[in-house]
A and B are shown apart, each in its own frame.
Chain A
Amino acid sequence: MSLAYYPGCTLKTTARNLEEPAVASMEALGFKLDELPRWNCCGAVYSLAEDDLIHQVAPVRNLIRAKEQGKNELVTLCAFCFNTLKRANLLMKEDVEKRNTLNSFMNEEIDYSGEVKVVHLLEVLRDEIGWGTLAEKVKLPLRELKVAPYYGCTLLRPREIAIDSVEDPTILREFLKALGASPVDFPESTRCCGSYQVISSPDDIAEYARAILNSALRHGAEALVLTCPLCDYNLGRGQKELMKKQSGIREMPLLYFTQLLALALGLGPRVCHFGLNHGSPESLLREKDLLPQVESVQPIGG
């Protein structure tokens, strides 16, 4: 089955370790993530000002690309892109005046009124595949791996686009359980990592990371599972700064949910690109016997 898929800029450059294991895993589950033709940058953040319609053009153009393909659903993977596209879609669906203005501004495009449903890959796994089916496909259960789900902001806020309960999200917990891992709940799982403040107040990033990592550690986590490339960057950068300041801090491994998915489906470490992670998970995974030397997907012999 083919799914219309929007990757976004970051997944093609610094976060290939989020995208490639996702594409390989979905293929193993019988789904092809079919990249949208002529996609463009979504603008990364949703425009919050009432009069700022020009910044809605970029995300809406991507939604139009999906509609042109005859797709009624668009799968996203980057948490920032998901938020921006889903909020822009909601605007086109609900605000008639702004919709009309945007449609007339883009008069070279077909009219759009929010017909495409924007979903995150985690929702596909939960709603279209199901945790039970996913669990049956697991070849290498992530036994004894204590992982804390870290949601960040953009999959859950604002309320109208949240993929799960804003107050008590469980989607990552259920995902981890399906893979055989032991989820570790902690209260800072939806606390902001500092986001784009890394551009203007880089010195504050370590303190954002400290609150999140300390809490996960206190609750017994051996690693954090992430959905967002900026969370990975900020938490990794923040903890490196903390380690420089204070000796004896053990590095918390940071993993994308797609990397755990690929490992559990037996796709091996090669598609995971662990070298790109900002909190190295390899020694932990080796310790838990989760890094097989021989990959189950063998190259086709000539």
Chain B
Amino acid sequence: MPVTVSSKRLRREFIKKVKELSGQNLQSCYQCGMCTGNCPAAANMDISPRRIIELARLGLEEEIAGSQTVWICASCLACTVNCPRGFDLSKVMEAIRLLTLRKNIDRVRPEDIPPQERGELPQIAMVSGLRKFTG
């Protein structure tokens, strides 16, 4: 029996996965932009934190996948503590990162970190960085 995979179905799948992994209700965000306003890395991002939520709940996976934003997020939680809706954007950022990393697509290769730096970096930097950027 042929199975038709429509783009609409794929979008629904993406929204479902982000919701499941993050545990967040994407509809609760009312797009006030406090997350972007408080993000210390927003200036380096091509898509603002606020827009990530909007794109995620529309299921626009390709737009998000083509953006650097989730890889620039440092999980500092400035967005989380300042959200008037109690929405935890750090968990949505993590969910989107994991959807890539779990396909065995790593963001960082440990061997690319210069050996001298590997010796100097605090262990918490190595462990957390490799946790966030490798699958």
Assess the B129–A10 pair: CB atoms within 8 A.
no
Q: How many A residues touch the partner, as a band? A: 35 or more
**Does B40 make an interface contact (CB < 8 A)?**
yes
- C-beta contact mask, A170-181 vs B, less than 8 Å → 1, else 0? 000000000000
Q: Hey, which chain A residues are within 8 Å of B48, CB to CB?
A: none
Contact with A229, one of B91, B95, B122 (Cβ below 8 angstroms): B122
Assess the B77–A153 pair: CB atoms within 8 A.
yes
Q: Do A192 and B40 form a contact, CB below 8 Å, given A50-B20, A51-B20?
A: yes
**Does A166 make an interface contact (CB < 8 A)?**
yes
Q: Least Cβ distance of B103 to chain A in Å?
A: 15
Q: Residues of B within 8 Å of A, CB-based: how many?
A: 41
Assess the B108–A195 pair: CB atoms within 8 A.
no
Q: Do A48 and B75 form a contact, CB below 8 Å, given A9-B124, A41-B127?
A: yes
**Does A104 make an interface contact (CB < 8 A)?**
no
**Does A80 make an interface contact (CB < 8 A)?**
yes
The residue on B at minimum CB distance from A228 is B124
A195 to B127, CA, bound (A): 12
Contact with A196, one of B22, B81, B117, B132 (Cβ below 8 angstroms): B132
A9 to B132, CA, bound (A): 18
**Does B113 make an interface contact (CB < 8 A)?**
yes
A211 to B78, CA, bound (A): 16
Assess the A196–B76 pair: CB atoms within 8 A.
no
Q: Do A50 and B130 form a contact, CB below 8 Å, given A197-B74, A230-B125?
A: no
Main secondary structure of the interface of A (DSSP, over half): loop
Q: Hey, which chain A residues are within 8 Å of B128, CB to CB?
A: 44-45, 80, 195-196, 230
Question: Which residues of B69-115 have CB atoms within 8 Å of chain A's CB atoms?
Answer: 71-72, 74-78, 80-81, 88, 90-91, 93-95, 98, 107-108, 113
Chain B residues engaging chain A, CB cutoff 8 angstroms: 20-23, 40-41, 44, 71-72, 74-78, 80-81, 88, 90-91, 93-95, 98, 107-108, 113, 117, 120-133
Give 14 A-B pairs besides A10-B123, A191-B78 with Cβ atoms closer than 8 angstroms: A8-B124, A44-B127, A48-B75, A48-B95, A52-B98, A80-B124, A81-B124, A153-B76, A157-B77, A195-B128, A198-B121, A200-B108, A201-B71, A230-B122
Please name 24 pairs of A and B residues whose Cβ atoms are closer than 8 Å in the assembled complex, sorted by A. A14-B120, A15-B122, A43-B127, A44-B131, A45-B131, A45-B132, A48-B94, A49-B95, A50-B20, A50-B21, A50-B22, A50-B91, A158-B81, A190-B78, A192-B40, A196-B132, A197-B41, A197-B74, A198-B121, A199-B108, A201-B44, A202-B117, A204-B44, A207-B44
